[in-house]
């Protein structure tokens, strides 16, 4: 991966794209994550009956509080290997975009869809 996160990534095939499994889920628990090196929130996200509940940690404290995240539908990559982040095992990569100051804004659907639906 390029060292500049804003650099255009190399072209990939459609089959490469299909290997990335991005799903919708609803945040059912969120709390501060003071053990993280950078300010973060740990979350439990419901991806529906097939995938279930998964944990995630995200550096989203500039734009979000734990209380306002519960019930919010987000998008996440569900087929990356889990990563140990301090005392928790982050099982999915919650997706977002950096704003003009580098703070993360969550990627989400603009209308509700069932948890566990795959990005097409």
* CATH code (residue 49): 2.40.50.140
Residue 93 forms part of a structural domain: yes
Phi, psi at 22, each rounded to 5°: -105, 125
Residue 117 forms part of a structural domain: no
Percent of the chain past pLDDT 90, that is, above it, reads: 91
57 burial via Cβ count (<10 Å: 0-12, 13-18, 19+): buried
Task: State the average pLDDT over residues 80-98.
Answer: 95
Residue 91 forms part of a structural domain: yes
Of the chain, the end-to-end C-alpha distance in Å amounts to 23
Residue 54 forms part of a structural domain: yes
Confidence of residue 28 (pLDDT cuts 50, 70, 90): very high
Model pTM score = 0.92
Confidence of residue 5 (pLDDT cuts 50, 70, 90): confident
The whole domain housing 51 covers: 23-106
Residue 60 forms part of a structural domain: yes
In the chain, the number of structural domains is: 1
Task: State the average pLDDT over residues 84-100.
Answer: 95
d(C-alpha 34, C-alpha 31), whole Å: 9
Confidence of residue 96 (pLDDT cuts 50, 70, 90): very high
Nearest to 77 by CA among 60, 101, 103, 56: 56
Residue 13 forms part of a structural domain: no
Residue 87 forms part of a structural domain: yes
Confidence of residue 3 (pLDDT cuts 50, 70, 90): low
Residue 65 forms part of a structural domain: yes
pLDDT, mean over the chain:
95
């Amino acid at each position: 991966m390029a060292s500049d996160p804003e650099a255009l990534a190399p072209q990939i095939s459609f089959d490469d794209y299909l290997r990335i499994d991005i799903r919708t889920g609803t945040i059912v628990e969120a709390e501060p994550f003071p053990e993280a090196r950078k300010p973060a929130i740990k979350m439990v996200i419901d991806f529906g009956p097939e995938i279930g509940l998964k944990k995630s940690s995200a550096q989203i404290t500039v734009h979000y509080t734990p209380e306002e995240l519960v019930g919010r539908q987000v998008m996440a990559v569900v087929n990356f290997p889990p990563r140990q982040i301090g005392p928790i095992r982050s099982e999915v990569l919650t997706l977002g975009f950096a704003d003009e100051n580098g703070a993360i804004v969550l990627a989400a659907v603009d209308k509700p869809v069932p948890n566990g639906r795959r990005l097409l």
